[in-house]
Amino acid sequence: MQGAGGDRGVEPFQGRPAQRYRNPRLKGILMELPIIQLYQGTWQFHGALEFIASAGFVPAQVHPVNYHSKDNVSLVEVDCLFRPRG
């Protein structure tokens, strides 16, 4: 996939069914998610949350990665740690 910053690679979850991630040995998923879509073809934040929820995970921690250069209270990307639901 080609983005504004060059090759971004393939997003790890795109095109894979959520059921694939229902593994009792899987204790968590750590993802960097865009709040503002920087690259064409990458997930939007709400879509990623819906997919992870359908795989049986819920947000456990959210940490800011980048802030908008012209608005220092608006996030561009966050790191999200998801844990199994329940």
Residue of higher predicted confidence among 18 and 58: 58
Domain boundaries, the chain: 33-86
**pLDDT for position 9:** 40
* Dist CA 86 CA 77 (whole Å): 27
Report residue 2's pLDDT band, with 50, 70 and 90 as the boundaries: very low
Write out pLDDT tens, residues 43-79: 888 888 998 898 889 999 999 999 999 988 899 999 9
The pLDDT, as a whole number, for residue 17 is 60
Residues 38, 52 contacting (CB under 8 angstroms): no
Burial class (CB in 10 A: 0-12, 13-18, 19+), 57: buried
